[in-house]
Chains A and B, each alone.
Chain A
């Protein structure tokens, strides 16, 4: 009997701690949402933790239509999606060559790509900067797509190689017998088969590109090519005393990611664990 009672107290304690931690994790984001709907007087005058007295949706319309937020949003979307498309296709091809084709150096090639996982991006900043300035690619979309693709490739190849090795060879064999060439086999048989791995790679690359700050802030200074992260850093100075509008900008920048997560949380969580399987 005594142990039963202890058990119940333990359970209550356990849930209290779990719920408390969940609040610490989630409440700051809810707080962001509430201050994005408040007026300045309310933010700097009243209880910062209260709900908005009057919901200032004008913070959102101001930030969207008076600044360049829509432009930044488009740029982030464009750069992210082009990077995902290029890195996914090229990595899938390279992974196919490493996992399925026969040549002497394929294991060394894989090791070389995997070392890329450990390289800090910051170490390549200056050479890339000099290269972009020399080629005139500084302040273009390409200035971001190039490093994003380059740094997405190691993880993508790692995931694809693991996945390709689990696919039996029979399907390719019968296609060969039917006279298909390698490109047809890759495009019509392999790509459809590795779709789950492609989703994993795409999510990973999306998060890396959508959230990237250092390259974006160094390689882009023209307003028309700025991405959301750079745009927000710029807005910070402009809206230093207008928290409501800055908050609205932060919420807008975060929304796509939250929506993607809500719609495909299983796939998102799976992609994170797949990326870590070997380490």
Chain B
């Protein structure tokens, strides 16, 4: 058996097809993007090698708004980690205690996670619509009509409105991850704490949260990387507007590549986004030193 499992030809047959697809779609394109990022090229005329000039232009050419995009994705990441994840944690702590309707709450919080971002974007466009949308109507109905505004068309509210949709869509995901981590803690630990007279808040602070720290780290990583990669929702809701108010690096990159055919500059932006994701992942792994517990 060992001889068969070490047979080079068989290993190759098993690993190669997956590796081929993965290389064609991920590895080779990234290397090629790296190469393109050093060119000035529109896809038709001859390309000119310009070294790192695209990387300089990316940050100096403010009208394209790349710097603004990075700041916005930073804001989204910050809010996701420090607002969305804590909210999800509170929900998970509350519903995992075995309250009535636990399953119903879990399901209703989770449902938006599985729905297409395109559908969600269209739905929220209708909710935020200034004249016939649900939000302005509700504000008027409860006597707050002075708050009515064109939510997505105003530079002051567009980013906050986008963030709200992100929280709405993904809070159930973080909640589910934290909930399942809490559920995998042996019940005896909670019972022992109760016998010792601990209150719910103390149990959460001294037992549950320390034990699910690895999952909190996973959620923080997902929230961060998700914010750096956000594209679909913003593309559907605002396309980065109004006046770059909701721009993120990926929406600018998409426009530079596909609409403006500026292949070199767009590729430099792509490489920047990859590096950002890798660096922040490593950073967050280091920042949250955690131990894994086995029960």
Contacts and interface: CB of A to CB of B under 8 A. Distances in A.
Nearest to A121: B229
B18 A123 contact: no
Interface in B123-149: 123-124, 126-127, 131-134, 137-138, 141
Contact of A119 (B11, B30, B214): B30
A25 B113 CA distance: 10
A254 B29 contact: no
Interface stretch (B48-56, B155-163, B217-225): B217-225
Nearest to B233: A213
User: Range of interface residues on chain A?
Assistant: 35 or more
A127 B33 contact: yes
B231 A35 contact: no
A229 B118 contact: yes
B263 interface: yes
A28 interface: yes
A48 B136 CA distance: 10
Interface stretch (B74-82, B103-111, B189-197): B103-111
A149 B14 contact: no
B84 to A, nearest CB: 13
A48 B117 contact: no
A250 interface: yes
Given A124-B33, A128-B25, A254-B115, A101 B19 contact: no
User: Range of interface residues on chain B?
Assistant: 35 or more
A55 interface: no
B33 A254 contact: no
A29 B18 contact: no
B121 to A, nearest CB: 9
B172 interface: yes
Contacts of B104: 22
Contact of A273 (B95, B141, B177, B258): B177
A263 interface: no
Nearest to B106: A269
A126 B267 contact: yes
B222 A93 contact: no
Contacts of B218: 276, 278-279
Q: Is the interface of B mostly helix, strand, loop or mixed?
A: helix
Nearest to A100: B5
Interface stretch (A57-65, A150-158, A194-202): A150-158
B238 interface: no
A109 B94 CA distance: 41
B253 A102 contact: no
Contacts of B228: 120
B277 A118 contact: yes
A116 B281 CA distance: 13
A21 interface: yes
Contacts of B274: 119-120, 123
A1 interface: no
Contacts of A100: 5
Among all A-B residue pairs, the 6 with the closest Cβ atoms: A150-B25, A279-B218, A127-B29, A94-B18, A211-B116, A124-B29
Interface of B: 1-2, 4-8, 10-11, 13-15, 17-19, 21-22, 24-30, 32-33, 36, 43, 91, 94-95, 99, 104-119, 122-124, 126-127, 131-134, 137-138, 141, 168, 171-173, 176-177, 180, 214-215, 217-218, 221-222, 225, 228-229, 231-232, 235-236, 250, 253-254, 257-258, 263, 266-267, 270-271, 273-274, 277-278, 281
Interface of A: 14-15, 18, 21-22, 24-26, 28-29, 31-32, 35, 43-44, 47-49, 86-87, 90-91, 93-94, 96-98, 100-103, 109, 112-113, 115-116, 118-128, 130-131, 146-147, 149-151, 153-154, 157, 172-173, 176, 181-182, 186, 207, 210-211, 213-214, 218, 228-229, 232-233, 236, 243, 246-247, 250, 253-254, 257-258, 261, 265, 268-269, 272-273, 276, 278-279
